[in-house]
């Protein structure tokens, strides 16, 4: 038996936060080594963070990434373990999205991404060049400060794989898995048994099944070990990356990480018998025939063994049932995790939401309530980082910390019903009931006086007094008066968010949450933080 233990991970990286990102990477490597893993895979562009956007165009971003990689290689982090680190690399005058494969304090290969994600939420062609050459590996000259420190001048660069004494390993980066001719098909025919997919895949409702089917398909008919690593959390932008790192063997999921978690580092391990891969391939006649006339792919030979000796105490990872959340759970958990990440990194003391009792703002309030429940749950499970963040944000003292989600919400979540003479008792009551259920600190405010003052000011300036349509006014008058109410609510929300911490003797500020629906946000006709007050 050729036993191989592998480690992949969900990492909560933050764009341009090199210190935090490096700390998470080190923790993941340390946990992988402690568990006896021989391969450690991290997510795409993990050193810089995936969502750096136009910061990728700055030379400093690449330079800082090399500094982080140098620190990893000068320490003992890669001793005895193959590590794949994601970072941008400039070769000649082109910038590439790369996986850097390292072992025993040396870089053994740099694999640039060949097919870039450039649709939907992704714009990789704006920042990176796709590597097109498949003929051979080129020599890449390391930056002088790195080569001097490592006593290593050049590194193989390009499309290829690493041949060890006992197995072959290759990288397939994110989007490449989903192309019509994915690299793993050709690599499998060349004898590659372990595929490492570093990814930056955002959460989208029911998208996880699409990813999992791709991993299973990649190894079901051609055999192989498919490792997948993903970011998890908000990295500073609009997207939430939903983790679910996993390991698939011969079409069976044998290890799966969480999809929604507040953890910064989550490891996923699998113990595999590589002879099972060889056995499946040798049993498929068509695979044997195509492998005999394959197009050869360049390789880097490393005289090192990754497999471990047979041990009766080491049990193999067995196929498991893939875990999926219901659509309702995805809606509740994904945005909640995003909100917590944004809050803890912002320096704010909490959220403020104009709560109308309507569907939009009520949904946002429920998501914040879900966030508070997740925080309390993870603290109860012993997560020290989440506990420290919650104590800081909630301003707990004397050793206290959140143990009840409603009590925690009372400290960090403020809701305001900003009603008018047109608001109904039903919406007022619904807002109050929901606020009590979530646990928010709730205010009930009438904006009639402010609206009336503005109308009087307009009448003084023009000599005309606009009326609502129900009172005989025109469409123009009606729209203008509705917009006055919306803008008053916006100004009041930001004033409360700025000054309520001062009122309650707290530092910082509150983040104002909007509750417009998606098409309003995308098409630009939203009013920031406007809540639709239903009559």
3-class secondary-structure state, position 274: helix
Residue 332, C-beta contacts closer than 8 angstroms, at least 6 positions apart: 366, 367, 370
H helix intervals, 4-105: 18-34, 59-74
Q: Which of 113, 263, 387, 410 is catalytic?
A: 113
Provide the edge-to-edge strand list for the sheet that holds 350-354.
441-446, 413-419, 350-354, 510-512
CA distances 77 to 17, 69, 480, Å, are 20, 11, 63
Q: Nearest-CA neighbor of 99 among 145, 139, 156?
A: 156
Q: What's the rounded Cα separation, in Å, for the pair 390 and 406?
A: 13
In angstroms, how far is CA 199 from the centroid of its own chain?
10
Catalytic residue status for 44: yes
| b (16+ CB within 10 A) / e for 108-129 | bbbbbbbbbbeeeebebeebbb
CA distances 467 to 365, 471, 478, Å, are 33, 6, 7
The pair of structure tokens assigned to 58 is: 């700055």
CA distances 508 to 28, 135, 237, 347, 395, Å, are 33, 57, 21, 7, 11
Q: Which residues pair with 39 in a beta bridge?
A: 6, 82
| 224, 218 Cβ separation under 8 angstroms | yes
Q: What's the rounded Cα separation, in Å, for the pair 292 and 190?
A: 9
Q: Which of 174, 246, 307, 372 is catalytic?
A: 174
What pairing do the DSSP bridges indicate for beta strands 154-157 and 94-103? Answer: unpaired
In angstroms, how far is CA 96 from the centroid of its own chain?
21
| b (16+ CB within 10 A) / e for 185-208 | ebbbbbbbbbbbbbbbbbbeeeeb
| 322, 212 Cβ separation under 8 angstroms | yes
Residue recorded with tokens 């799966």: 256
Q: What's the rounded Cα separation, in Å, for the pair 343 and 438?
A: 18
Q: Which residues pair with 227 in a beta bridge?
A: 196, 247
Q: Nearest-CA neighbor of 253 among 278, 226, 280?
A: 226
Q: Which of 245, 258, 317, 356 is catalytic?
A: 356
Q: Which of 28, 44, 172, 387 is catalytic?
A: 44
Q: Nearest-CA neighbor of 427 among 354, 500, 369, 476?
A: 354
Catalytic residue status for 201: no
Catalytic residue status for 279: no
Catalytic residue status for 294: no
Q: Which residues are catalytic?
A: 44, 113, 174, 356
């Amino acid at each position: 038996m050729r036993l191989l233990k592998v480690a992949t991970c969900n990492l909560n990286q933050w764009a341009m936060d090199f210190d935090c990102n490096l700390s998470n990477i080190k923790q993941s490597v340390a946990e992988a080594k402690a568990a006896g893993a021989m391969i450690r895979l991290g997510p795409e562009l993990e050193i810089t963070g995936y969502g750096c956007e136009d910061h990728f165009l700055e030379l400093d971003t690449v330079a800082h990434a090399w500094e982080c990689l140098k620190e990893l290689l000068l320490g003992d982090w890669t001793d005895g373990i193959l590590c794949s680190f994601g970072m941008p690399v400039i070769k000649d005058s082109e910038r590439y999205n790369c996986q850097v494969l390292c072992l025993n304090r040396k870089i053994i290969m740099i694999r640039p991404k060949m097919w870039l994600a450039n649709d939907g939420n992704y714009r990789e062609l704006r920042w990176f060049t796709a590597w097109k050459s498949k003929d051979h590996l080129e020599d890449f000259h390391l930056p002088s400060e790195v080569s001097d420190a490592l006593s290593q001048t050049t590194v193989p660069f390009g499309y290829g794989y690493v041949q060890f004494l006992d197995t072959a390993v290759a990288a397939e980066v994110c989007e490449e898995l989903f192309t019509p001719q994915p690299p793993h098909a050709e690599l499998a025919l060349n004898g590659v048994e372990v595929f490492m997919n570093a990814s930056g895949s955002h959460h989208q409702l029911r998208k996880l099944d699409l990813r999992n089917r791709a991993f299973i398909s990649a190894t079901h008919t051609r055999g192989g070990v498919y490792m997948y690593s993903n970011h998890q959390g908000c990295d500073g932008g609009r997207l939430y990356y939903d983790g679910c790192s996993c390991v698939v063997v011969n079409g069976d999921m044998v290890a799966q990480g969480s999809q929604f978690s507040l953890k910064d580092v989550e490891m996923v391990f699998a113990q595999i018998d590589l002879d099972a891969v060889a056995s499946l391939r040798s049993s498929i006649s068509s695979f044997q025939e195509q492998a005999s006339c394959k197009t050869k792919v360049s390789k880097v030979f490393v005289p090192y063994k990754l497999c471990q000796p047979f041990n009766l105490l080491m049990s193999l990872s067995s196929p498991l049932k893939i875990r999926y959340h219901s659509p309702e759970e995805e809606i509740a958990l994904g945005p909640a995790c995003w909100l917590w990440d944004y809050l803890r990194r912002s320096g704010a003391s909490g959220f403020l939401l104009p709560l109308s009792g309507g569907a939009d703002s009520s949904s946002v309030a429920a998501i914040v309530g879900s966030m508070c429940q997740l925080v309390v749950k993870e603290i109860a499970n012993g997560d020290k980082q989440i506990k420290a963040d919650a104590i800081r944000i909630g301003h707990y003292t004397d050793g206290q910390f959140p143990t009840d989600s409603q009590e925690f919400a009372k400290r960090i979540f403020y809701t305001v019903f900003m009603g008018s003479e047109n608001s109904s008792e039903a919406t007022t009551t619904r807002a109050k009931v929901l606020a009590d259920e979530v646990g928010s600190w709730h205010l009930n405010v009438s904006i009639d006086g402010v609206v009336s003052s503005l109308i009087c000011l307009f009448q003084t300036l023009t000599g005309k007094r606009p009326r609502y349509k129900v009172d005989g006014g025109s469409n123009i008058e009606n729209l203008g008066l509705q917009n006055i109410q919306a803008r008053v609510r916006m100004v009041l929300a930001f004033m409360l968010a700025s000054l309520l911490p001062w009122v309650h003797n707290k530092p910082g500020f509150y983040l104002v949450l909007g509750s417009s629906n998606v098409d309003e946000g995308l098409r630009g006709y939203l009013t920031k933080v406007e809540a639709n007050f239903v009559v």
